[in-house]
Amino acid sequence: MLTIKTIGQVLKEKRTSLGLDLSEAEQLTQVQKLYIVALETDDYKALPGDFYIKAYLKQYAEKLGLNADRIIQSYDEGKGITVEDKEDILENYHFVKPSERVEPEEEVPKTWRHYVPIISLSAAALLIVVGVFAAVIMNKPETPDLITNDYSYSKSEVSTSKSKSSTSSTKPSESSTQASSSKPEPTIAISGSSSAMIATISNISDPIKVDFSVAAGRTIWVGMTNSNVPATGQTLSDAANSLSALVTTGAENSVITLGSVQGLTITVNGKALDLSSLTTTGPNKITLQINRTTSNSAAQ
């Protein structure tokens, strides 16, 4: 029987027939999970633009073994896809007659003999605990008496100890002042590869500014959570080739989503991010893990 289905229905039915969940489909197709959900629900407004919609449809369809050209044509024409819908046939159904049913065996009531081993083990364990406790009490050493009359202090010793304590008390304050005056430089540690990267930023304080700039002739879509960048993201091109974003004060992380990294430069408070580990041409994700400095950590 022939039926007309949307592109999203065809993609989702193919994924489920392959036994893939969303996370497994993301690893197979290199398309982010949030974009997979948008494609399977025909929610094209959630994607960056027409160029990326077609790119994701083609990449997703090919990885699932579908006809990508047919799906792109259906998207361009704004029509559904005619597919053959197979009827479900219950081949493994088997009716069991009442006479053939096997009733579960009745549980035999347990007698007191069944609990004898358990009771014996519990009693033995209790005797061991009592014996150990008694041995500890009997062998406890006596507390020696302290004779306070054997201690005497002269006025000179007391005054000397006071002067030493006052001198030592000034040293930590001086060292803390020196420590607070020298603030450590921010550091960035990079991990991950392919299409996902984690940048752990330490010794940094608010405000945290992330600058994006794109080379001439390049067009790149940028999205960023926990920041002042719009939820729909922003496209960088020759008309507007730079973007300055501020991370939300107090946020511990921020996820940057990029349509591409070719010709893109990113700096965090003036420090450049090394993007060489991102090697895929499709969408890329950078997670900023933020470890801020505090007055207490600076003093230590």
* Residues contacting residue 35 through CB under 8 Å, at least 6 positions apart: 46, 47, 56, 283
**Taking residues 271-278, what's their average pLDDT?**
88
Cβ 294 vs Cβ 204: under 8 Å? no
pLDDT at 169 over 60: no
**Taking residues 140-147, what's their average pLDDT?**
58
Residue 294 backbone phi and psi in degrees, to 5: -125, 165
CA distance linking residue 296 with residue 103, whole number of Å = 71
- Predicted pLDDT of residue 1: 73
pTM of the entire predicted model: 0.40
- Predicted pLDDT of residue 108: 64
- Predicted pLDDT of residue 267: 92
- Predicted pLDDT of residue 182: 65
pLDDT at 248 over 80: yes
**Taking residues 131-142, what's their average pLDDT?**
81
Kindly report, residue by residue over 61-105, the tens digit of the pLDDT: 888 888 888 888 888 887 778 777 665 444 444 555 556 655 555
Cβ 62 vs Cβ 68: under 8 Å? yes
Half-sphere exposure of 213 (CA within 13 A, CB side): 9
pLDDT at 290 over 60: yes
Residue 213 binned pLDDT confidence (cut-offs 50, 70, 90): very high
pLDDT at 49 over 50: yes
- Predicted pLDDT of residue 143: 58
Task: Tell me the DSSP string of the chain.
Answer: -EEEE-HHHHHHHHHHHTT--HHHHHHHH---HHHHHHHHTT-GGGSS-HHHHHHHHHHHHHHHT--HHHHHHHHHHT--EEEE-PPP---S--PPPGGG--PPPPPPPP-GGGGHHHHHHHHHHHHHHHHHHHHHHHTPPPPPPP-GGG----HHHHHHHHHHHHHHHHHHHHHHHHHHHSPPPPEEEEEEEBTEEEEEEEEE-SS-EEEEEE-TT--EEEEESSBSS-TT-EEESSSS-EEEEEBPTT-SEEEEEES--TTEEEEETTEEP--TTB--SS-EEEEEEEEE--HHHHH-
CA distance linking residue 55 with residue 215, whole number of Å = 22
pLDDT at 296 over 70: no
CA distance linking residue 61 with residue 69, whole number of Å = 9
- Predicted pLDDT of residue 186: 84
